[in-house]
Structure 1
Amino acid sequence: MCGLWVAYKRHWSARSLFKEISNSGWINPGIDPKYEKFFLADLFSEYDAISLYHYLYPKRSELSSYFVQYLDLWFLDERNHSDGFLELNRLLFNSDEETILNNLKSRHGNFEHLEYLLSNEVNLLTLFAYDELISVKTYRKDTFYNEFGHPAFNTWISNLIADEATHFANAIKLLRHHHSYNLDKIEKALDHITQLESIPYRNTFLLDHDGPHFLLGNTNYEKAAAGEILTILARNKR
């Protein structure tokens, strides 16, 4: 049964979506400039998926074909998301693309603090499940797209949430189907993750939760997310 597992992927283009808005005759309603810094932070975090993917690429021979498939499909989605945030900044604030791209290319991830979590497949899947769950909860708070004057802005954030939820669900399925006997190891990884939440973000894509976007209204959001994952896995343990 385990061998039948196939990662699910949604298919859509962020660039096409924002091109649709641009070509529709949309008029900027005067969007609060505070969102520019907000969206740039999102762009930087999504773009940092490149550093993470390159860091993990040499480890592919040590990982199952299932996780390699997961990683490749995840990376395609994150590139699409970073493309979208780039187009969003250009459309809303007439941001200079060359300046943004130069800033993006200058970013380098520091993975030293994540070495334990990135050292094996169980830890990796646990970390991805946790991080994507936080992303789902975070993006669901972004109701301000209703103020931007075109329904496709809501389509954008809905697609983003659906992708992150898919990444979370795929990671949970892999843990359940291939690593359900390792629940103690998963719990240990989650404990390690929650301890790392106090460390400033280091351009790693993962655990980028120290910015204003991630004020979830719960001072123990990390423990709540970890507990949710454990509950799901324990409930479905075979």
Structure 2
Amino acid sequence: MKQELAVRNLIASDDAAAFFNAWAIDEERHTDGFIRILELVADGSEPDLRARLETRSHDFGPVFEHLKDEFSLMVMIAFDEMCTCRAYAAEKPFYDALGNNTFHHWLREVIADEAVHSMNAVNLIRARYHDRISQVGKIIDNLIRAATTLRYSGTFVLDYFGEVYSKELLAESRLAVMRNIAKPVIG
């Protein structure tokens, strides 16, 4: 995703570039964990799973209409990371049922990472785009409407599938982001 955003020139500030550098490192670590889980539950091999990831197509067309500039990108990331944070939390019973305490601890770290990513995006919005905060709710509402019809496209955003991504989860995630954005800036 980071590469796609650079090609489309959506990263306009050093703050956003730093955010995406840190985000990409965390996402790679998450991918490593998911590969381990797939090895365990689906009897796959790491080389095969990595090869499948490499050949997977990444189609940003379905989400690009929601990315106008760095501000809309950061709103999307803040919302998306909050959604995945809550979705992973809802899936704890699955990970616990794997019977390996390592995955339970790994999932806790992923949930924490997703929450931090959302809050970091919120903080960037608050610091750089305080004059546009009134637009956040409308952008998230558009993302929620779009999420119901988007197909998985390997973009790392709005790739929602499974029962856990309910209307309630999306609404709760919207509310959490809006609350975080509305907090007073301490400086």
Q: Highest CA radius of gyration, 1 or 2?
A: 1
Kindly indicate whether the alpha-carbon contact (under 8 Å) linking 1:201 and 1:208 is maintained by their aligned counterparts in 2: yes
Counting only pairs closer than 5 Å after superposition, residues 202-217 of structure 1 correspond to structure 2 as 202-209=153-160, 211-212=161-162, 214-216=163-165
Q: Sequence identity of aligned pairs in percent?
A: 24
Residue 105 of structure 1 corresponds to: 54
State TM-score, norm by structure 1.
0.69
SS at match of 2:167: coil
Kindly indicate whether the alpha-carbon contact (under 8 Å) linking 1:125 and 1:171 is maintained by their aligned counterparts in 2: yes
Residue 87 of structure 2 corresponds to: 138
Q: Which amino acid aligns with 1:233?
A: I
- Alpha-carbon distance, 1:182 to partner: 0.6
Structure 2: 5+ residue stretches without partners: none
Structure 1: 5+ residue stretches without partners: 1-51
Q: Is residue 84 of structure 1 aligned with residue 84 of structure 2? A: no
Kindly indicate whether the alpha-carbon contact (under 8 Å) linking 2:80 and 2:157 is maintained by their aligned counterparts in 1: yes
Kindly indicate whether the alpha-carbon contact (under 8 Å) linking 2:86 and 2:173 is maintained by their aligned counterparts in 1: no
RMSD across aligned positions (CA): 2.2
Distance 2:184 2:77 in 1: 19
Residue 222 of structure 1 corresponds to: 170
Question: What are the superposed Cα offsets for residues 69-115 of structure 1, whole Å, 9 maximum, x if unpaired?
Answer: 00110001001111111122224443133432332122112212322
Q: Which amino acid aligns with 1:221?
A: L
- Alpha-carbon distance, 1:124 to partner: 0.7
Counting only pairs closer than 5 Å after superposition, residues 24-39 of structure 1 correspond to structure 2 as none
Kindly indicate whether the alpha-carbon contact (under 8 Å) linking 1:180 and 1:237 is maintained by their aligned counterparts in 2: no
Q: Which amino acid aligns with 1:106?
A: T
Distance 2:98 2:117 in 1: 27
Q: Return closer, same or farther for 1:174/1:85 CA change in 2, 3 Å cut-off.
A: same
State TM-score, norm by structure 2.
0.86
- Alpha-carbon distance, 1:62 to partner: 5.0
